[in-house]
Amino acid sequence: MTNLSLPFERLATLENFGHSLKAQAYLYKPTSVEQMLEIFKTAKQNGLTVTLRGAGRSYNDAALNGGGIIMDIQDMNRIIEWNPETGRITCEPGVTLQKLWQHILSDGWWPPVVSGTMTTTLGGCLGMNIHGKNNFKMGTIGEHVVEFKALLPTGAEVTCSPTLNGDLFHALISGMGMLGVFTSITLQMKRVYSGLLNVRAWNVPDLETHIQELFDSAPLNDYTVGWLDSTASGKGLGRGQLHTAKYIHEGEDPEPKKTMQVSYQTLPATMFGVFPKSIIHYFMAPFMINPGVWLVNTAKYIAGMREGNYKQSHAAFHFLLDYVPNWELAYGRGGLIQYQSFIPKETVKDAWRELLSLTQKRGLPSYLGVTKRHRPDKFLLSHAVDGFSLALDFKVTNGNRAGLSSMLQELDQIVLEAGGRFYFAKNSETAPETAKRYLGEETVERFKALKRRTDPNNLLESDLYRRVFGSL
């Protein structure tokens, strides 16, 4: 691959995961570092920019690059080395979480941090520094990276660890793919003794209880996550359901070899053994209106009034977003916007009350609310705080797009006033002023200085980068 051109047939129209944004770009899928270098050279020769794309699971424009080049790394998906004795694994950036856990589980290991879907690539996971349902206990995925190699747009390939090129290590992880591209990643896995988790589920009746039980549960469990009914109001504002999970200790699972097989973890393809899950989103679509979502949420809350204690496979507990394939299509042609904020524990109660009340006042309630407990980390563009996150999903239509955009700016102000932060893998409406305010001028300047050092010709840009950092 020595003379890349920009033929018309390379043009592709790509979307974000929420199907609310589209952009046309020249699409390339390298299989080697040499091919990556050629793509950078071609971009420079043609005066174009390059955006990195993995599985395309970001809810915003992080993997879009209108009029430029997309470097899709999914074909760089080899597992380079696996040590089942130490639990260390080295992979190319296109390896998905699915391929990762399926490779290691039978040896008694599990990824220490996973997202809500197993289809994300490791390169994308590091670029956004993902968190899971165990952020308070285990931090972000970046905290479990032993080292990585990255190709810079200058042509240099660097090796980074917490102690070697530490500034680049803590910036490329969380850096949105705007400083360089990961070429190999070494991670430390988590030892497990069963393919099952001990899970507890129970309802919480209101906002104050929801927050308090998230706070109390997170230190005592390996995983803690909440569902919040965003349509509930009055005394029921903030009601929902919490799920916690604990690892099963060595010797407690009578059949560990069975439960740690990939076949045991496979998510069922049908509902109730009858309905193919691939068509369920068609049945969900009629309920994706305000009264329908209120009805579904109310039914879910009533059904959860009885506390449940049960065992669940790792895959079923973690990858809820994969349980119903293409569930996001139920939102219709306009797609959805996910809005996620991170708010300190000292201000979260009032802030969440304001956020939820405003969405209801505007007639734009979230159709899904997810809550988690968090702790800070050392990565440059960190989204974490000593507090809580709230992820809200909003349906986008031609009729509500303008009003929704305006409301999200109002939500930003509530979060900022509460000392909160945001997540570059999610929000699609974050303004430059908002980013500068929560990141701080010093962090922005450090990032820009590293950008000048690793990418002096500004070859790496995305629609997200231009939207947020273009004027900073």
Residue 105 scores a pLDDT above 60: yes
The chain-wide mean pLDDT, for the chain, equals 95
Reported confidence tier of residue 272, pLDDT bands at 50, 70, 90? low
Strands 275-276 and 308-313: unpaired
Say what the pLDDT of residue 4 is. 56
Distance CA 79, CA 289 (A): 44
369-410 pLDDT, tens digit per residue, is 999 999 999 999 999 999 999 999 999 999 999 999 999 999
Mean local confidence (pLDDT), 275-298: 90
Residue 324 has pLDDT above 80, yes or no: yes
- The residue extents of the domains of the chain are 8-73+449-465, 79-191, 196-431
Fold match between domain 79-191 and domain 196-431: no
**Between residues 310 and 278, the one the model is more confident about:** 310
The proportion of the chain whose per-residue pLDDT surpasses 90, expressed as a percent, equals: 92
* Amino acid 276: pLDDT: 85
CA distance 345 to 357: 19
- Level-2 CATH architecture, domain 196-431: 3-Layer(aba) Sandwich (3.40)
Question: pLDDT band for position 278 (50/70/90)?
Answer: confident
* DSSP result, 9-56: GGEEEEE-TTSS-EEEEEEE--SSHHHHHHHHHHHHHHT--EEEESS-
Query: Residue 412 to residues 355, 385, 428, 469: CA-CA distances in angstroms?
Result: 9, 16, 12, 17
* Pairing outcome for strands 336-344 and 308-313: unpaired
Nearest CA-CA partner of 386 in 214, 150, 158, 172: 214
What confidence score (pLDDT) does residue 1 get? 41
The CA distance from 172 to 7, in Å, is: 31
The answer to whether residue 61 scores a pLDDT higher than 70 is yes
| 450 has pLDDT over 50 | yes
Residue 468 has pLDDT above 60, yes or no: yes
Closest CA relative to residue 57, chosen from 116, 12, 13: 116
Overall CATH class of domain 8-73+449-465: alpha beta
Statement: residue 426 has pLDDT above 70:
yes
Residues 6+ positions from 303 with CB-CB distance below 8 Å? none
- Per-residue confidence at 247, pLDDT binned at 50, 70, 90? very high
Question: CB of 37 within 8 A of CB of 73?
Answer: no
**Model confidence over 231-245: pLDDT tens digits?**
999 999 999 999 999
Choices 3.90.550.10, 3.30.70.100, 1.10.3860.10, 3.30.465.10: CATH for 79-191: 3.30.465.10
pLDDT of res. 305? 87
Mean pLDDT in residue range 141-158: 98
Model pLDDT for residues 436-449, shown as the tens digit of each residue: 999 999 999 999 99
Q: Which two tokens stand for residue 131?
A: 């968190």
pLDDT for 155-168, tens place per residue? Answer: 999 999 999 999 99
Identify the band that residue 256 occupies on the pLDDT scale cut at 50, 70 and 90: very high
Task: Please check the confidence at residue 57 and state whether its pLDDT lies above 70.
Answer: yes
- Model confidence band, residue 273 (pLDDT cutoffs 50, 70, 90): confident
Q: What number is the average pLDDT over the span 108-136?
A: 98
pLDDT at 299 over 90: yes
Confidence band for 11, pLDDT divided at 50, 70 and 90: very high
